[in-house]
Structure 1
Amino acid sequence: MIEVTAANMQELLARTLAPTQLEVIDESGLHAGHAGANGTGFGTHFRVRIASPMFEGRPRVARHRLVYDSLQTFIDNGAHAIAIEIL
């Protein structure tokens, strides 16, 4: 089982999407008591801000799909919500 952390997500995205800008923020503490919150205050809700040459020429949905596909293992291990901002 992979540890669901912002640092681990950032490391994986850096390897898979070669971003020119990347920030992964754990916003789980802001969602305490919401659906999918695990009660620990971390590891469930994230915001990804990313720019990558791999996004060029692709529509918004395809760009988001690249990010979601890259993070699938985290989703499978407890990441409940991932907000994506393409820069």
Structure 2
Amino acid sequence: MPETAAPIQSAIEKKLTDGFQADHLRVENESHMHSVPPNSETHFKVTLVSGDFEGKNRVKRHQAIYGVLGAELQAGVHALALHLYTPEEWQTRNGVAPSSPQCMGGSKHDKH
């Protein structure tokens, strides 16, 4: 049986597919790299390539994503690593998004 995405990841993928003319979309659940319970859906890496980003700076691109994913951000998605490119920018990068850094650990519940 093929592996299916978890509910929040699926919702993010659908909203981004509906909200943008995507040439490339990859949503990765990176929660396992952070200090959260197993099977969490709190940290995501989004790589989105779209002509919709033409003429928009980084801030405007991020605002567009936050506008589409507002409900998810309000409901427990803690972090989005956003890698947003125009098709030309993506081609210049040879179709490769940066790797996410390892979590430095820690939690608001840890004693300092």
TM-score grouping bracket, smaller chain normalisation: 0.7 to 0.9
Asked if structure 2 preserves the Cα contact closer than 8 Å seen for 1:4 and 1:79, the reply is: no
**Which secondary structure state, in structure 1, belongs to the residue aligned with residue 22 of structure 2?**
coil
> Larger relative CO (CA 8 A, sep 6+): 1 or 2?
1
Asked if structure 2 preserves the Cα contact closer than 8 Å seen for 1:44 and 1:80, the reply is: yes
What's the counterpart of residue 62 of structure 1?
60
Asked if structure 2 preserves the Cα contact closer than 8 Å seen for 1:4 and 1:74, the reply is: no
1:27 aligned to which of 30, 33, 41: 30
What's the counterpart of residue 9 of structure 2?
6
TM-score of the superposed pair, with normalisation by structure 1: 0.83
1:12 CA displacement: 0.7
**Which secondary structure state, in structure 2, belongs to the residue aligned with residue 48 of structure 1?**
strand
* Unaligned ranges ≥5, structure 1: none
Q: What are the equivalent positions in structure 2 for 1:15-54 lying under 5 Å apart? A: 15-32=18-35, 37=36, 39-54=37-52
**Aligned mates of 2:77, 2:10 — CA distance in 1:** 13
Which string of whole-angstrom CA distances, capped at 9 and with x for unpartnered residues, describes residues 4-63 of structure 1? Answer: 52221011100011211100000001002xxxx4x2442100000001111111111101
Q: Paired residues, what number?
A: 80
TM-score of the superposed pair, with normalisation by structure 2: 0.65
Aligned-residue identity in percent: 30
Deviating above 3 A after TM superposition, structure 1's stretches of 4 or more consecutive aligned residues are none
Backbone CA RMSD of aligned residues: 1.5
